[in-house]
Every structure is written in C-alpha cells, then in structure tokens.
Amino acid sequence: MNKDVLIIGAGPAGLAAAVTLLRGGVEPIVLESSSRAGGSIVTHRENGFLVEGGPNSLMLEKDGVEDFFHQLGLVPLEASSEAKKRFLVCAGRPVAAPAGLFGAIGTPLLSLRGKLRVLGEPFARRAPEGDETVGAFVRRRLGAEAALRLVDPLVSGIYAGDIEKLSLRSAFPRLHLMEEKYGSLVLAGLRKRRAAPVRRMVNFAGGMAEIPNSMVRVLGEDRIRLGAAVQSIEKNAEGWRVTWLNDGEKHVALARCVLLACTPQNWEKLPLPASLSALLRPWHLLAAPPLSVISLGYAREQVAHPIDGFGMLAPGVERRKILGTLFQSSCFKGRAPDGHVLLTTFLGGSRNATLTSEDEASQIKIVRDELNDLLGVRGSPVFTHITRWNRAIPQYNTGHESLLALLASASKTYPNLFFTGNYCAGVALPKTILHAITTARDILEKLK
C-alpha cells in the first residue's frame, strides 16, 4: 500500500499527529505494537469509581489544544474550585501550600530564616554558565529551605524526578526565561501578574480516555493497526519502505514520510537503518523511573481529613514512602459513588524506585499505612486498583538539549523523518499534543 505518512506509535502524540495530517488532506497510517491505542492514557471504570492510570487531568491554555479538542467534539469537565488548593506534607501532616512565590512569605512551611531568604530573591547572584539543575537554581535564587520544602515536592508531582538532576532550561524553560528577561522571579511575577495566561484544569465526563477514543473515531480503524510488529524500516529514493506483521500476516507500506511517535526506549527495538540507530543510541539512556498509580476508594466517613483540595505532595525531606496523593473525587464529578471518595497515590519515581518492585498487596499496604498516618483513613478500602509503569515519565535531566540536537541531526540526515512525543517539548499532555500538531503541520508543509 502507498501512504503519505507512516506513524509508529498510537499514543496521544501519534494520534494527534495523524488527525492533523488527515485534516490537512494527507493520508496517514498508524502502527501500534500493543493491543490498544492511547499510550499513557488509561481510564478504568468499576463499581461506580472512575480511575486514571496515567494523566489525571490537564491544564488548558490559549495555545490551540482546546480548539483541537473542540474539533474532536470533546467537552471539557471543569475542576471544582477546591482543586485550586494544594497541600504539602510538613512535620507529618498536610499543610496548605502557598499560592505562588508571594504566598511563601506567610506559609508555615518555611522558617523565618527561610522566608527572609525568599525575600532576598531579587538580589540573588546571576545564573552560571552551563546547564543548571533545578535544585541549584532554586537554592541560588530562593534558598535551600525553599528548595527542599516547596520546590522538591512540586517537581516530584510533575516529573516524579530529582531536582538535583533535572535541567532547569529543559524541564522548566519558563523559569529560565523569566530570570533571563527580568533578572528576578519576584520582579517577573510583578510584571507578569496582569498578563498571566488563563489556565483551566479539566478532565472529561468519561475520563481522559475520551481524548484517544475521539481521535480513533476520527481516524477510523482502517488507519490504525494494533498489534503491529515492525519487521523492517528502509529508506529509498521515494521515501520509506516499512514492513510489519499483524496476526502473522505480512504487510508492506511505501510512505513519503515516517514519524516516530513511540517512546525512545522502543527505538532500540525498531529495525532502523544502522546509521540512524547509531545516531539515536544515546537516547536509550533517557531516564524514566518506574511508577505505581494506586487508587483506593473509601466511604466518606472513613477519611478524617476534609480532603478539600487537589491533593497532597510529600517532600523528600519528610521521608515518606509515597510521592503524593490526589483527591480525585474532590476535583471532578463522577469519580466515586455517592457517599464515597477516591484517593489516587503515586509510589516510586526517582525517589523510591525500588518500592515499585514489591507485589501489589505490599504496595497497597504501604499506601494504606501512609494515608492512615497523613489523612486519618481508617479501615479497609471498598475499592482498589493499581496501574504499574516500568518506565513512566521521561526525565529532562541536564544534557537533554544535546539529545534533542541528535533528533535535529537525524532529521537533517533523513529529511523525511520526524519525531514527536512527551520527550520533546514538555511532559504535560497539552505540550505533547501541541508538539504533535506542530510536527504534523511541518510534515504537511514538507509534502506540498
């Protein structure tokens, strides 16, 4: 068969790129090695509970993603007003997190010395040369206490990573640009307060799975091949020749362009041209620590804490076994039956990776013990569900820019080869989808 674009990977990025290409008049085909489309988006319904095993919500901004959802027929479900409230664990109890940098001055999470150090932020020394870590940046600008008590748990909630390894420029480019432009986070905050983008936290009535499901409906089953085992990827004068097996049957496609939308750890398994494999080999070392997503349902009276917020995060200095817990039923309607609550807890990440190797019963016990101690949860859950990821969130550690440069080099060597995924322009789902849309538009321009 002849196709304009062959996409490898039917996660959110691959599907979003395929939809954009199709709407641009280009015929795509998507190959997915697993038995389902959607990648990291996993929604599970059982006994009146709605559980997310991957992304639990997303933040919408005026960047084109909401328009893309609207065209798919998706209707976002707004988070409750309570979702604006966050908790950080301090001295063994959840404490309301400050709302932004200025709120840090009145928070009980920092000592008087720590608050004075935050106030001195405008006088902090300028950035050093090189790829600074998030931890080094925060200590330099806000002090060690703010790094440990405020930023470490927040970063863990996004990346499940290590602030001493994550690159500021790659993982949090906005902070890097704020310092570069204004010389101070405080001054940047004052300047940007009036022009702050409107951001809305949303999910969907049927869960996050509505996103890939809607894209699959647009594409149609004939453009998505599940359970496809790629056998060869060869470059020729016309473009690419790709062969794969489906249920033992061999298929061949001649495509003008190839878009790799699978995770970098899967590139090693693909039969890419030898020179391309060698060029991409450093990507095989991209860290993506394991993570267990453990959802427990309780009768409301079993939980002493009011759980009146988005959730809680635990700083590493607290020595907790969990990274944090989301109060799912407090954020979105329809997540638990009447009179019940749903709590989703994260275990593992860079901090406690070995805990994810425990059996499910042991992991659930760890979470129950932690929730008992932190939220006053009593008795056995009425519902349990666990999703385990051997490799979860890609880590934008120092040196990530050099990895991205390899992708640019690969696309220069192979002009009809493109890349997209959550390893490119941000791990948040909207950033992943936006990068996929932009990449698809680049392909459309290429094929003109």
Which of 347, 370, 389 delimits the end of a domain?
Answer: 389
| pLDDT tens digits for range 270-286 | 999 999 999 999 999 99
Which of 343, 365, 389 delimits the end of a domain?
Answer: 389
Question: In this structure, is residue 176 part of a structural domain?
Answer: yes
Which of 165, 192, 219 delimits the end of a domain?
Answer: 192
Instruction: Give the pLDDT score at 198.
Output: 75
Of residues 274, 255, 263, the one with CA closest to residue 32? 263
Mean pLDDT across 419-430: 97
Question: In this structure, is residue 240 part of a structural domain?
Answer: yes
| 283 secondary structure, DSSP code | G
Structure tokens at 381: 């859950």
Question: In this structure, is residue 88 part of a structural domain?
Answer: no
Question: What is the torsion angle, in degrees rounded to the nearest 10, for the CA atoms of residue 403, residue 409, residue 439 and residue 287?
Answer: -20
Mean pLDDT across 186-203: 77
248 lies in the same domain as 221: yes
Question: In this structure, is residue 201 part of a structural domain?
Answer: no
179 lies in the same domain as 266: no
| pLDDT tens digits for range 125-180 | 988 899 999 999 999 999 999 999 999 999 999 999 999 999 999 999 999 999 99
Pairing relationship of beta strands 86-90 and 311-313 according to DSSP bridges: parallel
Cα 436 from Cα 416, distance rounded (Å): 16
Cα 204 from Cα 75, distance rounded (Å): 7
231 lies in the same domain as 300: no
Report phi then psi at 62, rounded to 5: -85, 70
Instruction: Give the pLDDT score at 1.
Output: 74
For residue 59, count other CB atoms closer than 10 A to its CB. Answer: 15
Domain encompassing residue 374 = 43-82+288-389
Question: In this structure, is residue 200 part of a structural domain?
Answer: no
Question: In this structure, is residue 204 part of a structural domain?
Answer: no
67 lies in the same domain as 16: no
Mean pLDDT across 73-79: 97
152 lies in the same domain as 186: yes
DSSP E strand boundaries for 27-121: 28-32, 43-46, 49-52, 58-60, 76-78, 86-90, 93-96
CATH number at residue 132: 1.10.3110.10
Overall domain count for the chain: 3
CATH number at residue 316: 3.90.660.20
Instruction: Give the pLDDT score at 193.
Output: 62
> Which residue type is seen at 416?
N
CATH number at residue 6: 3.50.50.60
